[in-house]
A = this chain, B = another copy of it.
């Protein structure tokens, strides 16, 4: 058995998340632990809720971080809104729509699937048809930014359709929060979850969530207890609710929350719209370089996420070998394809702190060298220069 402290290498994280973490966040996480009922901690939590409201662009009272990763945030939304016998319309255009279906069914509810191709946005026409065909549906669920494909769906339109048919909206914003336009209140999203490790550039392990008053009314008037004790909002609210006395529910992950707080302070310093613009700018530069090499994107331009660039692997190129060389020789992590796209694409993340000119130029330079060395059919020696012209222009 090893008895050594663990010293990780220094990587550049340009996969689908975790993304590069701002050193300020790592420092924050190393600050002294205090009690989860300490008045000073409670003050920090209240600030955190305000900062999260800013990030989500919402005034929802019920806005907080779940003490577990994004998939627990997803589960919190489904188990609190759905009861046995309910029906939910679930849009699937990648891996995470499938996970939503699993969640619906494990609640004892029925999932009506609306399928779109992997790499496409959710089609609002199909959604409208499903809403018409299933007037008893209680929830419409979709992924705003599909981390498995890099496609962005039109959350505003989907939510409008859902409300026209008296459905609540569950939206997965794991990869969009902080990286591309997301307006929870303007778009009227009812139950929204995200992750700490994408465009907030924090370490993984926390899931920011926000719930509208409409959603809260449904949760407070449930007929059955929520099947998960840990994720039951009626209980969690006693701790995070912020009204009067705080009652113990579970022990919050204190130091991880220090990190998320710092990540949100950094976002606030930059400004949310400025952060969206930075993600867009770095995407333009990376895209120009990628295309100059002769590589292409699987998502069409109007539906492309700036923070997650899904690039087709050229014919004859060994996916695993390229990624291994990038990791070993450059300490650079890019993402593999997931599910149906495994072996067919790379996912290059430009999320949060990792969305920088430094990373764009480094990644293009490393890809140019490794692909060239492996004899891949690319245009060599032009990617970095092309990206630089985007920044200069």
Interface residues of A (CB under 8 A from B): 1-11, 13, 15, 17-18, 20-21, 24, 26-36, 38-41, 44, 47, 50-51, 54, 67-72, 74-75, 99, 102-103, 105-107, 195, 197, 203-205, 225-230, 248-256, 258-259, 261-262, 265, 268-269, 327, 333, 338
8 A/B residue pairs, CB under 8 Å, sorted by A: A1-B268, A26-B255, A67-B68, A67-B72, A68-B230, A103-B229, A107-B227, A227-B228
Evaluate contact between A205 and B18: CB separation under 8 angstroms: no
Evaluate contact between A11 and B31: CB separation under 8 angstroms: no
**Which chain B positions have C-beta within 8 A of A4?**
265
Evaluate contact between B3 and A265: CB separation under 8 angstroms: yes
Evaluate contact between B32 and A10: CB separation under 8 angstroms: yes
A54 to B38 CA separation, bound complex (whole angstroms): 33
- Partner pick for A205 among B6, B225, B253, B262, CB 8 A cutoff: B253
A20 to B254 CA separation, bound complex (whole angstroms): 12
A27 to B24 CA separation, bound complex (whole angstroms): 14
A229 to B105 CA separation, bound complex (whole angstroms): 10
Evaluate contact between A261 and B103: CB separation under 8 angstroms: no
A4, A6, A44, A269 pick with most chain B CB within 10 angstroms: A6
Given A9-B34, A47-B6, A253-B69: A75 touches B229 (CB 8 Å cut-off): yes
Evaluate contact between B28 and A5: CB separation under 8 angstroms: yes
**Which chain B positions have C-beta within 8 A of A44?**
6, 8
Identify the closest chain B residue to A20 (Cβ).
Answer: B33
Given A7-B31, A26-B30: A75 touches B36 (CB 8 Å cut-off): no
Given A8-B41, A228-B228, A338-B248: A3 touches B268 (CB 8 Å cut-off): yes
**Which chain B positions have C-beta within 8 A of A29?**
26, 29-30, 255
Q: Quote the shortest CB–CB distance from A122 to chain B (angstroms).
A: 21
Evaluate contact between A250 and B30: CB separation under 8 angstroms: no
Given A1-B51, A1-B54: A30 touches B32 (CB 8 Å cut-off): no
**Which chain B positions have C-beta within 8 A of A28?**
5-6
A28, A203, A254 pick with most chain B CB within 10 angstroms: A203
Evaluate contact between B33 and A71: CB separation under 8 angstroms: no
Given A229-B106, A251-B69: A258 touches B2 (CB 8 Å cut-off): no
Evaluate contact between A6 and B261: CB separation under 8 angstroms: yes
Given A72-B230, A205-B67, A256-B253: A9 touches B32 (CB 8 Å cut-off): yes
Q: Quote the shortest CB–CB distance from A347 to chain B (angstroms).
A: 12
Evaluate contact between B1 and A106: CB separation under 8 angstroms: no
Q: Quote the shortest CB–CB distance from A38 to chain B (angstroms).
A: 7
Identify the closest chain B residue to A44 (Cβ).
Answer: B6
- Partner pick for A255 among B9, B203, B327, CB 8 A cutoff: B203
**Which chain B positions have C-beta within 8 A of A35?**
11, 13, 15, 18, 333
Given contacts A8-B40, A38-B327, 16 further A-B contacts (CB under 8 A): A2-B47, A9-B40, A11-B33, A13-B33, A18-B36, A21-B33, A26-B29, A26-B30, A27-B30, A29-B30, A70-B250, A74-B229, A75-B228, A99-B229, A204-B252, A205-B252
A4, A54, A254 pick with most chain B CB within 10 angstroms: A254
Evaluate contact between A1 and B203: CB separation under 8 angstroms: no
A182 to B18 CA separation, bound complex (whole angstroms): 36
Given A29-B29, A50-B1, A205-B67: A228 touches B106 (CB 8 Å cut-off): yes
